[in-house]
Amino acid sequence: MIRYSRRVIEVQGLSQRYGDYLAVRELSFQIGAGEVVGFLGPNGAGKSTTLKVLAGFTPPSQGTVRVAGLDVATHSLQVRERVGYLPEHTPLYDDMRVEPFLEFVARVRGVADRRAAVGDVLERCRLGEVLGRPIAELSKGYRQRVGIAQALLHDPAVLILDEPTHGLDPNQVLEVRGLVRELGQERTVLFSSHILSEVEASCRRVLVIHQGRLVADDEVDALKQRATGGAYRLRAQDPPADFRERLEALDAVARLEVQGDALRLEPPTPEQRDALAAAVCQLAQTAGVTLLELAPQEARLEDVFQLLTAPGEEAARAEA
């Protein structure tokens, strides 16, 4: 269960419509101060639309959205003063050089000490090598760093990043991932990404949206456990012929499957996985069976994502 600290982002019943198309449907979630949260979903799920509303760039069609206690519909400018926003397609002036561009953004933002603010983001985003170069000549990785730098100039309490590693090579992804982790030590960060390993490495909690609806809001480890059903993998040394039947008879075992030289044991609910392990150990001791392996079934965040965004019964079961 998620326990919230002071709520910085509050979304209640958000729906967003473009003409007859409903991009976001009755979305509700909360994010506390200092959290780094991943925002996942397939293409067209409504992620970018939601982030635009949170950043104060698009008013909500329905529902209430508050950032730092301010309603984005009635206090849009004040919200933008407290939010740093990097859109999916970084809006940069290609004919400007890096340092003058950041000075221009700081001036537009009304930053009091522009020299200090620009110097800080140049150092933080590691842009010293390119500060005098035209933005048009920068690699994709450096362009993303410039985009993050402009989002940080006014020292926002909330940082919203839409696909910050889109189009980057593996080394650049690692660099941006490290930067996101650093930034999360000082402020609330919400970022979307299609690179699930990046999300898993950068945050404990994820929101998953599918067809405009929130289908999951939990810690990564809890979602991975949910994807496996709390199952265990079991291998035993020379078990007696009736050992499998005795395992199936345990109340803590809802399903048993043979997987090569091992058994997969699933509890009635993921929350009962500890009871399953205890029951199996007790049975093995009573039967004099040596357990070679009794380990939780491993799942990847990719497995969770596929489960939650699959069509038909699987998606409905995941959403329930």
Query: What DSSP line would sit under 266-316, residue for residue?
Result: E-SSGGGHHHHHHHHHHHHHHHTPEEEEEEEPP--HHHHHHHHH-STHHHH
Structure tokens at 13: 């019943």
Rounded Cα–Cα distance for residues 212 and 58 (Å): 16
Reduced to 3 states, what is the DSSP secondary structure of residue 227? helix
Structure tokens at 230: 């709390």
pLDDT at 171: 82
Q: Which amino acid is at 130?
A: V
pLDDT at 185: 83
DSSP β-bridge partners for residue 40: 208
What predicted TM-score, i.e. pTM, was given to this entire model? 0.80
The total number of residues shown for the chain amounts to 320
How far from 165 is each of 86, 94, 189, 250, 298, CA to CA, in Å? Answer: 11, 19, 15, 48, 27
How far from 45 is each of 192, 204, 210, 235, CA to CA, in Å? Answer: 12, 22, 5, 41
192, 40 contact by CB (below 8 A):
yes
pLDDT at 252: 94
pLDDT at 319: 42
Rounded Cα–Cα distance for residues 168 and 158 (Å): 24
Q: pLDDT of the chain along its 320 residues, tens only?
A: 444 447 899 999 999 999 999 999 999 999 999 899 999 999 889 999 999 999 998 999 999 999 999 999 999 999 999 999 999 888 899 999 999 999 999 999 999 999 999 999 999 898 999 989 999 999 888 998 999 999 999 999 999 999 888 778 888 788 888 888 888 888 899 999 887 877 888 888 999 999 999 999 999 888 887 778 889 999 999 999 999 999 999 999 999 999 899 999 999 988 898 999 999 999 999 999 999 999 988 778 887 888 888 765 344 444 44
**Exposed, middle or buried by CB within 10 Å (0-12, 13-18, 19+), for 292?**
exposed
pLDDT at 2: 44
pLDDT at 311: 67
Torsion of CA 200, 210, 61, 13, to 10 degrees: -80
Query: What's the alpha-carbon Rg for the chain, to the nearest Å?
Result: 24
190, 27 contact by CB (below 8 A):
no
pLDDT at 89: 84
**Edge-to-edge strand list for the sheet holding 158-162:** 83-86, 158-162, 188-192, 36-40, 205-210, 213-219
125, 148 contact by CB (below 8 A):
yes
pLDDT at 312: 55
The CB-side HSE value for 88 (13 A sphere, CA atoms) comes to 12
